[in-house]
Structure 1
Amino acid sequence: MASSQGPAVAGITIAFAVMSSIVLGLRLFARIHVLKRMGVDDYLIIGACLLSWAFTAATVVAVQHGMGHHYSDVDTSDLSTYSLAVWLSSMFYLACLGFIKTSVCWFYTLLGDKFLTRLSILMMCILVAQAVSFVLTAAFQCTPIARAWDKTIPGHCVTINHFYLANAALNILTDILTYTLPIRVIFNLHMPSKQKIALAAILCLGLFACISSIIRITYIPSMLSSPDFTYAISGAMYWSAIEINIGILASSIPSFKALASRFLPRLIGEYSSNKNYGAWTSSGATRRYGTGFSKVREHGIKLQSRTERETVTDTQIGRNTSEERIIIPEGKIFAHTEIETNVEEMTANRIERAAFLFLTHGFIGLH
């Protein structure tokens, strides 16, 4: 038997599906256990992961029935099951991309910039329309539908080759548009060098998701024209798996900021509020964020009486402690009040969401 790419396709697809499972687990742990709050973008990524796993299952089934093998080595009785698995995987792939990019755009609307929010809403409308139209085209490419995987059934199909090429090109275009939306906001940021390095790393990861989509399109012409189609499809399939799972990883990075702030504060570094990194407010922004890359802490404020004539206000934030004596005039009544404020849960979600701009989001801590 000639060489086969089947094991490579299955191995790569499964490996990246496992990675996205771990990423989803960490994201849900951060949102449910640490922040105790879920957002619409989280539910969209859950949907994307489910579709990614479905794509993986369909790909493995296709490998078992001929994908990655040379056509001459494939049992023709398996071709119907192979074609059905490929047909299903195409819909799972297209829907998964729609969920990922819509989740990213929803995340942008939470960053507080009005101009970015308007662009994100417009982009979400485009993405939803694109995903729905692509999935429906893939699903109903043939009449009757079953002819898509069983060519012995009488009927006709659309010119699917043109559809796949147009689909791949439009996916790359919407990738670029989606991932570059926050550039105007990023230009207004003033960040220390450590945060800029983190931002560069995120940019590289996001760009890799775009690059994988570009690499995938180079395999499509040979996949569509080669008589050895069961073998030629291999590259496009495992690059599809890489693309969607890297997209899930990159879109989940903001959640890791909450985990690092809670459990590994030294990993991300701490900046005290007296450092002159300033804060930023982009034009039209409704929220204001500091640019310190700091751990979320509990802020305790207490007023206590030490003697009959004086009190001490002890305010502890992080490692800084200050004491102030308050003199009470003769004959005045002193009211002892204790106020303890825990702002971690109230602000952690906003800090985490502002911590990264996907693809172009950097670490942005709140002073």
Structure 2
Amino acid sequence: MFDYIEFPMLPIVRVHLVINCVLAFLTVSVVGLRLVARFVTGAGLWWDDYLILFALPQGLGMLIIQGLWAPMGIGYPVTETLPNLETILKLLVAYELIYSTAIGTIKVSVLLFYLRVFVNRGLRMATKAALAFVMLWNIGNILQVFLICRPFAKTYSLTVEGECGDQVASFIAIGAFNVISDVIILTLPLPTVWSLKMATPTKFGLTGVFLVGLVVSVIAIIRIVTLTRLDLQNLTGTMIWADFWSATEPNLGILCVSLPMLGSLLSRCLPSRRGNTKLAYHSSGNGANGSAFSKLKDQSQTDTQIPLENIYAANQEVHYQSAVGAGRTPEPLRTAPDADKDKDSGSDVALTDQPTHLSDQKNGIRVQTKWTISHN
């Protein structure tokens, strides 16, 4: 397929390739489980899932190019690998293009996920602004691949006359914007999460769920550091670590944004604990209109479980009923005039005439809460 002189693979290059192969296997497995979780809850797929499915083969493509480079002399001085250099440069063009589109696709997927589950107007506007920024950023990344050298053939050919801009500086600038956009995207929902009426440990848990992607930002920063040490005049001798981290970042990004989506699957596999409550919401229609956080309910201070099952149950209707009575009141509780109306409108509390089943006590307040979840 490619005409090149084969070199013995250096041990460090082999280790890098094995690590990314294992990561790719885990990524494919987690994405598969993500799809299973979506169908198990009856929610089906939406645009954020489709984009992850689109990004997955791109991440695997980065790994394939890393594997093709490995026997071409990666780690050897360019004076020894000169016969392979043009082939390496051609693969580098594809490498840059795939990297840009893969990272951009992952970011757009996360932002579309926010638009699907949040109804807060301020957050949605900020998400749309971030979405526009990421798309423009991604277009700029793609254009620089084709415009950094004039003519374009100079990018990969050693014999074509022409000139190129500072490619290393371009790589670093792209990486810096990548890290900045990661931080912006991952912190967008945090003000909304901390404004919810739920236990503080639960808020910390949800914060951790949304910030798990910062692991990818750390990798992106490390990648920038390795790019500063890249010398295009000795490309094969200085690209070992830049090659490794560039192939790692997209697959790790897909893995990190997919892991939190397995909450519904885990909640079905693990035995439920008494006293735990889940995020509940009222949604209708498809994922675009029904939002998981549109009707979050108050949770008890002992709530520690943070499954994301209900975020992915797109066609569920939640009815919430609460009966409150004093311990010295023997008669059944009276029905609030607007109880049925509140229940139908998805309001937080509806008093009912259902008698309490708690044991009789001489003092104190008795509360009975009933949740009913039905599929439309």
TM-score (norm 1): 0.71
Tell whether the 8 Å contact from 1:87 to 1:138 is kept in structure 2 after alignment: yes
Residue 194 of structure 2: which of 187, 192, 204 is its match?
187
Distance in 1 between residues matched to 2:131 and 2:21, nearest whole Å: 29
Give the whole-Å Cα distance in 2 for the aligned partners of 1:146 and 1:278.
56
Shift of 1:154: 2.3
Residue 230 of structure 1: aligned partner: 236
Amino acid paired to 1:175: D
- Alignment partner of 1:289 is 2:290: no
Which of 8, 11, 21 is the equivalent residue of 2:15? 8
Between stretches 102-111 and 184-193, larger displacement belongs to 184-193
Structure-2 separation of matches of 1:155 and 1:247: 36
SS at match of 1:289: coil
Runs (5+) with no aligned partner, structure 1:
280-284, 302-322, 326-340, 347-367
The unaligned stretches of length 5 or more in structure 2 are: 1-7, 282-291, 300-304, 320-352, 356-370
Q: How does 1:300-311 map to 2 (within 5 A)?
A: none
- Taking the TM superposition and a 5 Å limit, the aligned residue runs for 1:266-345 are 266=272, 269=273, 271=275, 287-290=294-297, 292=299, 293=305, 343=373, 345=375
**Structure 2 counterpart of 1:90, from 88, 93, 96:** 96
CA 32–272 in structure 1, closer or farther in 2 if over 3 Å, else same: closer
Out of 101, 105, 109, the residue aligned to residue 99 of structure 1 is 105
Equivalences for residues 98-117 of structure 1 within 5 A: 98-110=104-116, 111-117=118-124
C-alpha displacement of 1:265: 4.3
Are residue 263 (structure 1) and residue 273 (structure 2) matched? no
CA apart distance, 1:240? 2.2
Kept in 1: contact 2:9–2:73 (CA 8 A) = no
How far the C-alpha of 1:170 sits from its partner, in A, is 1.0
SS in 2 for 1:290: coil
SS in 2 for 1:223: coil
Secondary structure at the aligned position of 1:112 is classed as: coil
| Paired-residue identity, % | 24
Equivalent residue number for residue 217 of structure 1: 224
CA 1:247 to 1:200, structure 2 compared with 1: closer, same or farther past 3 Å? same
Name the SS of the counterpart of 1:5 in structure 2.
helix
Deviations 1:87-131 (Å, cap 9, x if unpaired)?
A: 211111111110111111111112221111111111111101111
What is the alpha-carbon distance in structure 2 between the residues aligned to residue 210 and residue 185 of structure 1? Answer: 22
Deviations 1:200-243 (A, max 9, x none): 64366322111111111111111136x43213212122222332
TM-score by length of 2: 0.70
Aligned CA distance change for structure 1 residues 203 and 234 (closer, same or farther; 3 Å): farther
> How does 1:153-164 map onto structure 2 within 5 Å?
153-164=160-171
Query: Residue type of the partner of 2:157?
Result: D
| CA distance 1:109–1:157, change in 2 (3 Å) | same
Correspondence for 2:248 among 226, 242, 245? 242
Shift of 1:73: 4.3
Name the SS for the 2:231 alignment partner. helix
Instruction: Give the alignment of 1:191-206 within 5 angstroms.
Output: 191-192=198-199, 195-196=202-203, 198-199=205-206, 201-202=208-209, 205-206=212-213
Match of 1:129 among 123, 131, 136: 136
Which amino acid in the other structure matches residue 235 of structure 1?
A: W
Query: Match of 2:214, as an amino acid?
Result: L
CA distance in structure 2 between the aligned counterparts of 1:66 and 1:145, rounded to whole angstroms: 25
Q: Report the Cα distance in structure 1 between the residues aligned to 2:103 and 2:28, rounded to whole angstroms.
A: 16
Distance in 1 of aligned mates of 2:107 and 2:113: 10
How well do the aligned residues superpose, as a CA RMSD in angstroms?
Answer: 3.5
CA deviation map 1:25-60 (0-9, x unaligned): 111111234434111100111111121111111121
